[in-house]
Amino acid sequence: MLEFTKMQGAGNDFIVFDGMARTLPEYGLLARAVCSRRFGIGADGILVARASDDADLAMVYYNADGSRAAMCGNGMRCFAKFARENGLTAKNVFTVETPDGVKKVRTAVSGEGVVTRVTVDMGRPVFLPYELPVLLPGERIADRPLEAAGRRLRVTCVRVGVPHTVIFVPALSRAEVETVGPAVERHPAFPSGTNVDFVEVTGRDRLKIATWERGAGHTLACGTGCCAAAVAARTGGRVIGDRVRLDTEGGPLQVGFLPDGSVRLTGGAETICTGVLSPGLLCRRPRP
């Protein structure tokens, strides 16, 4: 009997498993089987709750394609709701170990014990030069746009636990996300791949964002991507102030900037359903 909970944060959906006291199947295989939209439950990734020596809990995240990633912002909000509501912790403010370090989460809990909102301390984003295969003598990375899908793109690369490539556009376009997104994700400049965020500036403290995720394709929102976009926009003088609202395709999220250079992600998380996996699911041939 393998129980699961399906959750979503801003439309970024996950299958969550409690791995505190039980051994689960290999996570990559599990992710591919349950995330398949037609042959599985359907999700962008899986989250597994584990015990931790360094924090109150540990979160393991795998993308829909079975690859592992160090951090997931929307996933962390869902994880926090799952952990608090299922008694994995009794605290409203607690710490979660990830491969990107220990994150502090704050949950807003209603009188009925329902978590309505979660804030995650995401740490300090790091600006990265993208790794061009060949740079001519004296040439700076900023001099050369990234060439992908027949386009010359100005990009800002930011790591928020996971790599993000931010592209500012005059207006978001679904077609652009689906053509430029995969070409940038697998561009030779990014040997380990990258998430790709298309960002439109809609106000002095407001951005609109669409994301193509490494290992999951087009998703309705990406929490680490919102942090990357907000930091890139603020550093480039495109937004001002201490917080930015991001309108993702799955709803609004908020990113706050702290004096030490770290960022905070706030938003909702919802439970869709709980259930039990069919025992045969993991034995079937993996399908899309």
Ligand X SMILES: N[C@H](CCC[C@H](N)C(=O)O)C(=O)O
- DSSP structure class, residue 35: H
Q: Is 147 annotated as a binding residue?
A: no
Q: Which of residues 200-219 bind ligand X (CB under 6 A)?
A: 213-216, 219
Decide whether 18 or 213 has the Cβ nearer to ligand X: 213
In the bound complex, what is the minimum distance in angstroms from residue 162's beta carbon to ligand X?
3
Q: Which of 151, 142, 122 is nearest to 228 (CA)?
A: 122
User: Amino acid identity, residue 265?
Assistant: L
Q: Are 202 and 208 in contact (CB under 8 A)?
A: yes
Decide whether 73 or 256 has the Cβ nearer to ligand X: 73
Decide whether 40 or 215 has the Cβ nearer to ligand X: 215
Two tokens at 263? 């960022």
Catalytic residue among 78, 222, 226, 227: 222
- Output the CA angle 69-73-79, nearest 5 degrees: 90
Q: Is 92 annotated as a binding residue?
A: no
Q: Which of residues 3-22 bind ligand X (CB under 6 A)?
A: 12
In the bound complex, what is the minimum distance in angstroms from residue 30's beta carbon to ligand X?
16
Q: Which of residues 246-275 bind ligand X (CB under 6 A)?
A: none
In the bound complex, what is the minimum distance in angstroms from residue 10's beta carbon to ligand X?
8
Which residue's structure tokens are 């679904």?
174
- Using CA atoms, how far apart are residues 148 and 100, in angstroms rounded to an integer? 29
Decide whether 59 or 153 has the Cβ nearer to ligand X: 59
Q: Is 224 annotated as a binding residue?
A: yes
**Is residue 72 within the footprint of ligand X (CB under 6 A)?**
yes
Q: Is 73 annotated as a binding residue?
A: yes
**Is residue 156 within the footprint of ligand X (CB under 6 A)?**
no
**Is residue 224 within the footprint of ligand X (CB under 6 A)?**
yes
Q: Are 160 and 120 in contact (CB under 8 A)?
A: no
- Output the CA angle 248-163-156, nearest 5 degrees: 75
- Using CA atoms, how far apart are residues 286 and 288, in angstroms rounded to an integer? 7
- Using CA atoms, how far apart are residues 277 and 280, in angstroms rounded to an integer? 8
- Give the catalytic positions in this structure: 72, 222
Residues lying near ligand X in the complex (CB under 6 A): 12, 63, 69, 72-75, 162, 195, 213-216, 219, 222-224
**Can you say which residues are annotated as belonging to the binding site for substrate?**
12, 63, 73-74, 195, 213-214, 223-224
